[in-house]
């Protein structure tokens, strides 16, 4: 090779590297957080509001979601989790609680129409978001409020609910749960299969987080459109913890066009804490059984709140670096590709058990810095922040229009 040619090649290579670098990190993390549409598919603010009311339009230091933090973190679409527990279900209170939580979100939006808006379709984002608004969408965690009435699916859809996590910590009328040793349906129940079909018909997203592996498989076989895991981490890091998604099922969700939204909570990303959480829910299932018997016999119930507190006092969460979350993203992207991964933080849902640097909705820029440092381009990060989820939601919505 002559000298002139080799110099030309070296210059070309340098220019090429320079332009790749420029393309990959043209924006600071803060700028990218502002520019991209950030969607977080799991924030537990509504149940927290019911337990302890506060005005989320202003700074609320004891919470992980409030307007000033969301605005500063660049959050555009926050899925508010309409959560009911297995014990709410047993006591016949799930439907009532779900409606009350939806009321509280409607009240929040009515109180601050310039700060919040209710989002019921991805088509409305551009129109509704305006300069400063954080849009609130509704996701139902635990299908218990549907009770045994298929018409309730449509009724909650009318109220704005756009996804349902079919079960939570215990097997319910719809599906088995990963936490519950009872496998009463061996997957989805016959009623659960009807619920999935009805959700497809309405354009409601089926969420497989929390389900047993067999139930996820049933959903994947039955659903005519992609499905999501709204807040799950990868079982690869927490072997034996069925609550996290297995490689096989993550690949199947991606192959069907869906997305896995990674949760940040320490119990999902730290192996020891995952074991503790699994043991916690086993004990909770036993307590639920005892309380059910106590309701029948009229004897005193075990106080679940103080049980929970004692348990977590005895099983503290380890300090966990943000790298543990970034490792989840790296692993997921290698496994299923950049188009099938997103964010489902579980803020306000893990009693503050969050990694360093990801303590609230103000901290998405820290996640962006981490992803940039690991070599992802602005375009790739934009997909992870919300682009992928919005593509899937749009597809599910148009599936309804066709049927
Ligand atoms: Zn959850």
If you write DSSP's letter for every residue of 164-208 in order, what string do you get? Answer: EES--SS--SSB-BTT-S--SSSSB-HHHHHHHHHHHHHTPEEE-
Distance 43 CA to ligand 1 centre (A): 9
Distance 291 CA to ligand 1 centre (A): 22
Asked if residue 33 has pLDDT above 90, the reply is yes
**Contact by Cβ (8 Å): 213, 203:** no
Mention every residue, 6+ apart, whose C-beta is less than 8 A from residue 72: 362
Distance 17 CA to ligand 1 centre (A): 43
Q: Helix crossing, 151-158 with 190-202: angle to 10°?
A: 40
**Contact by Cβ (8 Å): 393, 205:** yes
Distance 330 CA to ligand 1 centre (A): 22
Distance 141 CA to ligand 1 centre (A): 7
**pLDDT of the residue at 100:** 98
**pLDDT of the residue at 105:** 98
Any idea how long the chain is?
403
Q: Which of the four pLDDT bands, split at 50, 70 and 90, describes residue 129? A: confident
Question: Could you give all domains of the chain from N- to C-terminal order, each with its CATH number?
Answer: 38-402 (3.20.20.140)
Q: Which of the four pLDDT bands, split at 50, 70 and 90, describes residue 401? A: low
Report the mean per-residue pLDDT for the chain. Answer: 92
Asked if residue 17 has pLDDT above 70, the reply is no
Q: Which of the four pLDDT bands, split at 50, 70 and 90, describes residue 351? A: confident
For residue 80, the cross-strand partners are: 43, 138
Q: CA 80: distance to chain centroid?
A: 10
Distance 229 CA to ligand 1 centre (A): 10
Distance 232 CA to ligand 1 centre (A): 8
The phi, psi pair for 6, rounded to 5°, reads: -65, -35
Q: Which of the four pLDDT bands, split at 50, 70 and 90, describes residue 403? A: low
Distance 84 CA to ligand 1 centre (A): 10
Mean pLDDT value across residues 184-202: 98
**Percent of the chain beyond pLDDT 90?**
79
Structure-model confidence comparison of residues 135 and 87, the more confident one: 135
Distance 392 CA to ligand 1 centre (A): 20
Mean pLDDT value across residues 2-26: 47
Taking only the tens place, the pLDDT of each residue in 85-114 is: 998 999 999 999 999 999 999 999 999 999
Asked if residue 120 has pLDDT above 80, the reply is yes
Distance 245 CA to ligand 1 centre (A): 13
**pLDDT of the residue at 119:** 98
**pLDDT of the residue at 138:** 98
Please classify residue 186 by burial: count the beta carbons closer than 10 Å to its beta carbon, then call 0-12 exposed, 13-18 middle and 19+ buried. Answer: exposed
Asked if residue 398 has pLDDT above 80, the reply is yes
Alpha-carbon gap, residue 363 to 357, rounded angstroms: 7
Asked if residue 2 has pLDDT above 60, the reply is no
Distance 337 CA to ligand 1 centre (A): 24
| Least confident piece of the model among 116-120, 214-218, 302-306, 383-387 | 302-306
| Least confident piece of the model among 145-154, 271-280, 320-329, 353-362 | 271-280
Q: CA 228: distance to chain centroid?
A: 9
Distance 85 CA to ligand 1 centre (A): 10
Mean pLDDT value across residues 183-187: 97
Distance 346 CA to ligand 1 centre (A): 7
Taking only the tens place, the pLDDT of each residue in 195-249 is: 999 999 999 999 999 999 999 999 999 999 999 999 999 999 999 999 999 999 9
| Least confident piece of the model among 16-25, 166-175, 269-278 | 16-25
**pLDDT of the residue at 402:** 67
Asked if residue 24 has pLDDT above 60, the reply is no
Alpha-carbon gap, residue 229 to 132, rounded angstroms: 28
Taking only the tens place, the pLDDT of each residue in 54-67 is: 999 999 989 999 99
| Least confident piece of the model among 15-24, 65-74, 319-328 | 15-24
| Least confident piece of the model among 101-115, 158-172, 186-200, 285-299 | 285-299
**Contact by Cβ (8 Å): 63, 145:** no
Please classify residue 114 by burial: count the beta carbons closer than 10 Å to its beta carbon, then call 0-12 exposed, 13-18 middle and 19+ buried. Answer: exposed
**Contact by Cβ (8 Å): 140, 163:** yes
Distance 222 CA to ligand 1 centre (A): 23
Residue 225 gets which letter from DSSP?
S
For residue 136, the cross-strand partners are: 78, 118
What is the torsion angle, in degrees rounded to the nearest 10, for the CA atoms of residue 21, residue 386, residue 341 and residue 193?
-170
Q: Which of the four pLDDT bands, split at 50, 70 and 90, describes residue 19? A: very low
């Amino acid at each position: 090779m002559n000298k002139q040619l080799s110099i030309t090649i070296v210059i070309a290579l340098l220019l090429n590297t320079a332009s790749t670098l420029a393309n990959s990190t043209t924006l600071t993390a803060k700028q990218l957080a502002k520019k991209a549409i950030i969607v977080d598919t799991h924030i537990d603010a509504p149940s927290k509001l019911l337990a302890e009311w506060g005005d989320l339009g202003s700074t609320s230091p004891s919470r992980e979601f409030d307007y000033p933090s969301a605005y500063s973190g660049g959050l555009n679409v926050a899925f508010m989790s309409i959560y009911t527990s297995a014990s709410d279900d047993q006591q016949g209170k799930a439907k009532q609680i779900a409606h009350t939580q939806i009321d509280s979100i409607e009240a929040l939006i009515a109180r601050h129409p310039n700060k919040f808006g209710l989002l019921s379709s991805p088509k409305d984002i551009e129109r509704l978001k305006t300069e400063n608004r954080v849009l609130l969408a509704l996701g139902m965690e635990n299908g218990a409020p549907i009770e045994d009435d298929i018409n309730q699916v449509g009724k909650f859809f009318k109220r704005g609910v756009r996804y349902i996590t079919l079960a939570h910590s215990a097997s319910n009328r719809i599906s088995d749960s990963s936490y519950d040793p009872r496998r009463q349906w061996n997957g989805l129940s016959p009623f659960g299969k009807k619920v999935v079909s009805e959700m497809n018909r309405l354009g409601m997203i089926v969420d497989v987080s929390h389900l047993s592996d067999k139930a996820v498989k049933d959903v994947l076989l039955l659903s005519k459109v992609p499905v999501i895991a709204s807040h799950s981490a990868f079982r690869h890091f927490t072997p034996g913890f069925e609550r996290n998604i297995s490689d096989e099922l993550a690949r199947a969700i991606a192959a069907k066009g869906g997305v896995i939204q990674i949760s940040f909570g320490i119990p999902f990303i730290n192996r020891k804490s995952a074991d503790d959480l699994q043991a916690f829910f086993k004990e909770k299932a036993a307590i639920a059984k005892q309380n059910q018997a106590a309701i029948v016999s009229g004897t005193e119930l075990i106080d679940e709140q103080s049980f929970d507190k004692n348990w977590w006092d005895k099983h503290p969460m380890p300090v966990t670096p943000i790298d543990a979350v970034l490792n989840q993203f790296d692993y997921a992207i290698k496994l299923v590709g950049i188009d099938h991964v997103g964010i489902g933080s579980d803020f306000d849902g893990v009693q503050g058990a969050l990694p360093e640097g990801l303590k609230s909705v103000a901290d998405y820029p820290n996640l962006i810095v981490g992803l940039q440092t690991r070599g992802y381009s602005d375009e790739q990060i934009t997909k992870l922040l919300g682009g992928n989820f919005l593509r899937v939601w749009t597809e599910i919505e148009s599936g309804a229009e066709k049927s």
